Chains A and B, each alone.
Chain A
Amino acid sequence: MSEKRECPPELKARLRAGFDQEWRKELRRAIPVKERMKLARQHMPEREPTVRNKAFVEVNRGLEAEAAVREARRCLDCANPECVLGCPVAIDIPSFVKLVEQGDFAGSVRKIRETNSLPAVCGRVCPQETQCEEVCNLKKATGVAVAIGNLERFVSDYERLHGGAAVPPLAASSGRRVAVIGAGPAGLTVAGDLAKLGHRVTVFEALHESGGVLVYGIPEFRLPKSILRAEVDYLKRMGVEFRMNFVVGKTASLADLRAEGYDAFFIGTGAGLPNWMKIPGENLVGVYSANEYLTRVNLMRAYAFPDYDTPVLFGKRAAVIGGGNVAMDSVRTAKRLGAELAAIIYRRSRVEMPARIEEVKHAEEEGIEFHFLTVPTRYIGDEYGHVKAMECLRMELGEPDSSGRRRPVPVPGSEFMTEVDLVVCAIGQSPNPLLPQTEKDIRLGKWGNIDADMTTMATSVPGIYAGGDIVRGGATVILAMGDGRVAAAEMNKYLRNGASAKA
């Protein structure tokens, strides 16, 4: 997100209207910019590492109201706020931050909800440091950005603890019906936006709980399920219907849904098919994909086995392969489930790790080991087919590759063996094959992803839109939500122009 982006005129007008309000002018006059720049960033209170690495309680505790107001004062209320351009769903960040400064927390979260249906989620899991906070003008001036993410979290928590979000005014009914396939971040965003615009929305979900990766992938200690449930409940109160345990492509095809009267479709079926390194021993017992490991623990609550029936293997020596957020979630989960040694095995060095800095910091505090420039070459099993050791190879960094990161090159003869009884492979995933397998008309990209126009999220079939990991392969929650926002706006045009998916 570091490249300079143009502010679309529509957005510019929206931001300007807020900027020019009298109370904003007064606030700007009350404390001069120079004074604001001297204020220190408020620290996010966290649970003690030695306590939290044994439990699934949330790590971050959230800002107190006073701290939030102090943090909001740091915002310079820029005439040209770069932060908004760094946000994939274009939240009017200065407005919501200044409402916090005013002490109008309810108004602040209402402002966020104008363009974001899941603020409590985004306030917790968005990589703000590479988005809004990276381009914050205060960061440019002082090196330390406004804690936009922490403030978003604060106001959404305030709202939840004070009676929950009020249903926003909905546009008059269009009489049009929309099927959203997959209740993940992309789908939930589309559902919220289109419901607000007056369309009748049904979300079809294959699993027994809504949230997609937010429920099966992201652990309780980063995103408590109760918070996600409150966000889903808000959509239900807006009139969005949820049909659970319904696998579109299997339980019904898109053609069946069209015959049932749906006029437009959004496919947000997300990731599937975990990637493997294709090295010997990957199918040994005790070698998991991150998707399976996290699904067992999060969606199926295996951490509470035998109160819940789904088990998960507890390792004493756990190795997690990969350097992204999913790898951090997996390794911190293994630690919480009692691993004496929980280690990240990553083929590049620390600076190339795609995980959020906060996640890496939390992991280190919790006692996670990091083995950089290391790659597994095979897993060795015992007589029962359980993994007992892995062979690794040391790497060194060579020339930059297509991603701009320096390519890891094996060091000849550097093989070494180490004992492990749990391995989690977190090296990404391919798009879910199920819907593309059964809906042959939708054009696919070369990785089996749905080929969508990234400016409109339209697929090759009129009336069918797609977004999130089914298009991108493997990205973030907020990029999926950004796709959802773009798709919803385009779908609204499509539905309002009278074009019907039946035609």
Chain B
Amino acid sequence: MPKVLRRERLAPNIHLLEVLAPEVAKKAQPGQFVILMPDEHGERVPLTVADWDRERGSVTVVFLSVGTTTRKLSRFKAGDEIPVVVGPLGRPSEISNFGTVLLAGGCFGIAAIYPIARALREAGNKTIVLVDVKAPYLLYWEDKLRAVSDRFLVSTREASSPDQHYISRELAEILQAGERVDRVVAIGCTYLMSACSESTRPLGIKTMVSLNPIMVDGTGMCGACRVTVGGQTKFACVDGPDFDGHLVDWAELYARRKSYLDDEIRSLCRFEEEVFP
């Protein structure tokens, strides 16, 4: 079973997990994901690969602790074994010299954009990294992101901050200020990705999002992760996870992501009672 090398709290409720999975590390490309299962009764959860170390043979994921599965993952310690780590799954992000690419990330997406920014910069792009944090203490990986960006911007909604608004407005302002941007990559919660897509839609700037529907097998067998893109049903696990944000049926994705909300709450309450009696 794969060993956990490191588990770290990056910000309140946001955790990093580095696992030993040499085969996955060898093949991982920006934008791909792995499926983890925290224990034999657990759910299969897809998480974007945030980094990898081919020499060490490790893969890193960053996630928001929100339901039972992510709570379980957040309790791992170095040296523990994790029963399922499978990947890398999904198609890699498109990497090419587009010119200037703005990468917008929030929450776990701050980490998810890192390998994409790194690869885009290596491919000759100018990279602008814009991260969304509700408050400055929720920012993490600043140094890593600064190292792969030509411009690094933080959007925050803390009352004391001079510009307190959501990342999508910040993004719209940057674009309207005349900054030439050839492509936008937005990764985070569904709201962040849909809002950023709306900001760029009037300007016609291609905006790629990494969709996060519920998955089960992750290899194109079950169809749980189907999303409507440009009027066609696509499977995020084999056709994505990256799609053109201007073509995504966001309302459907919101609804499908909430399919099991009641069950998720029930499961989490039970887990919390067991762990913190």
Which A residues contact B (CB, under 8 angstroms)? 206-208, 216, 245-247, 250-252, 270-274, 276, 278, 282-286, 289, 291-292, 295-296, 300-301, 305-311, 313, 384-386, 432-434, 437
With a CB–CB cut-off of 8 A, which chain B residues contact A309? 41-43, 68-69, 267
With a CB–CB cut-off of 8 A, which chain B residues contact A292? 216, 222-224
With a CB–CB cut-off of 8 A, which chain A residues contact B227? 283
Can you give 8 A-B contacts (C-beta < 8 A)? A208-B44, A208-B83, A208-B86, A246-B86, A251-B86, A296-B216, A300-B44, A432-B221
With contacts A300-B216, A384-B258 taken as known, whether A295 is within 8 angstroms of B221 at the C-beta atoms is yes
Whether B263 and A311, one on each chain, are in contact in the complex, defined by CB atoms closer than 8 angstroms, is: yes
A445 to B254, CA, bound (A): 37
State whether the Cβ of B219 lies closer than 8 Å to any Cβ in chain A: yes
State whether the Cβ of B164 lies closer than 8 Å to any Cβ in chain A: no
State whether the Cβ of B158 lies closer than 8 Å to any Cβ in chain A: no
Whether A291 and B223, one on each chain, are in contact in the complex, defined by CB atoms closer than 8 angstroms, is: yes
Main SS at interface, chain B: mixed
Nearest CB in chain A: distance from B142 CB, A: 32
A14 to B192, CA, bound (A): 68
Which of B43, B44, B88, B220 has a CB less than 8 Å from the CB of A432? Answer: B220
With a CB–CB cut-off of 8 A, which chain B residues contact A437? 238
Whether A273 and B220, one on each chain, are in contact in the complex, defined by CB atoms closer than 8 angstroms, is: yes
Which of A251, A274, A305, A434 has a CB less than 8 Å from the CB of B222? Answer: A274
Which of B43, B84, B255 has a CB less than 8 Å from the CB of A245? Answer: B84
Nearest CB in chain B: distance from A387 CB, A: 11
A160 to B252, CA, bound (A): 49
Place the interface of chain B in its size category: 35 or more
Contact flags (1/0) for B212-247 with A, using CB distance below 8 Å? 000011011111101110000101001000000000
State whether the Cβ of B131 lies closer than 8 Å to any Cβ in chain A: no
State whether the Cβ of B75 lies closer than 8 Å to any Cβ in chain A: no
With a CB–CB cut-off of 8 A, which chain B residues contact A206? 86, 217, 219
Closest to B224 in A: A292
Main SS at interface, chain A: loop
With a CB–CB cut-off of 8 A, which chain A residues contact B259? 285-286, 313
Which B residues contact A (CB, under 8 angstroms)? 23-24, 27, 37, 41-44, 68-69, 83-89, 216-217, 219-224, 226-228, 233, 235, 238, 251-252, 254-256, 258-260, 263-264, 266-267, 270
Whether A251 and B23, one on each chain, are in contact in the complex, defined by CB atoms closer than 8 angstroms, is: yes
Whether A305 and B219, one on each chain, are in contact in the complex, defined by CB atoms closer than 8 angstroms, is: no
With a CB–CB cut-off of 8 A, which chain B residues contact A385? 251-252, 254-256
With a CB–CB cut-off of 8 A, which chain A residues contact B220? 272-273, 432-434
With a CB–CB cut-off of 8 A, which chain A residues contact B42? 309
Closest to A431 in B: B220
Whether A251 and B216, one on each chain, are in contact in the complex, defined by CB atoms closer than 8 angstroms, is: no
Whether B86 and A247, one on each chain, are in contact in the complex, defined by CB atoms closer than 8 angstroms, is: yes
Whether A271 and B228, one on each chain, are in contact in the complex, defined by CB atoms closer than 8 angstroms, is: no
With a CB–CB cut-off of 8 A, which chain B residues contact A282? 233
Closest to B225 in A: A292
Whether B222 and A289, one on each chain, are in contact in the complex, defined by CB atoms closer than 8 angstroms, is: yes
With a CB–CB cut-off of 8 A, which chain B residues contact A216? 217, 221
Most A CB within 10 A of own CB, among B24, B85, B228:
B24
Closest to B228 in A: A283
Closest to B222 in A: A292
Closest to B86 in A: A245
With a CB–CB cut-off of 8 A, which chain B residues contact A305? 263, 267
Nearest CB in chain B: distance from A77 CB, A: 44
Closest to A383 in B: B255
With a CB–CB cut-off of 8 A, which chain A residues contact B267? 305-306, 309, 311
Whether B27 and A306, one on each chain, are in contact in the complex, defined by CB atoms closer than 8 angstroms, is: no
Which of B43, B238, B256, B263 has a CB less than 8 Å from the CB of A434? Answer: B238
Whether A246 and B23, one on each chain, are in contact in the complex, defined by CB atoms closer than 8 angstroms, is: yes
Whether A311 and B260, one on each chain, are in contact in the complex, defined by CB atoms closer than 8 angstroms, is: yes
Which of B216, B233, B255 has a CB less than 8 Å from the CB of A276? Answer: B233
Closest to B32 in A: A250
Whether A434 and B235, one on each chain, are in contact in the complex, defined by CB atoms closer than 8 angstroms, is: no
A384 to B266, CA, bound (A): 19
Known contacts A208-B84, A270-B221, then 4 further A-B pairs from the complex at CB < 8 Å, ordered by chain A residue: A206-B217, A208-B37, A251-B87, A283-B252
Closest to B257 in A: A285
Most B CB within 10 A of own CB, among A251, A301, A432, A433:
A251
With a CB–CB cut-off of 8 A, which chain B residues contact A306? 263, 266-267, 270
Nearest CB in chain B: distance from A69 CB, A: 41
Nearest CB in chain B: distance from A306 CB, A: 5
A216 to B228, CA, bound (A): 26
With a CB–CB cut-off of 8 A, which chain A residues contact B222? 274, 289, 291-292, 295
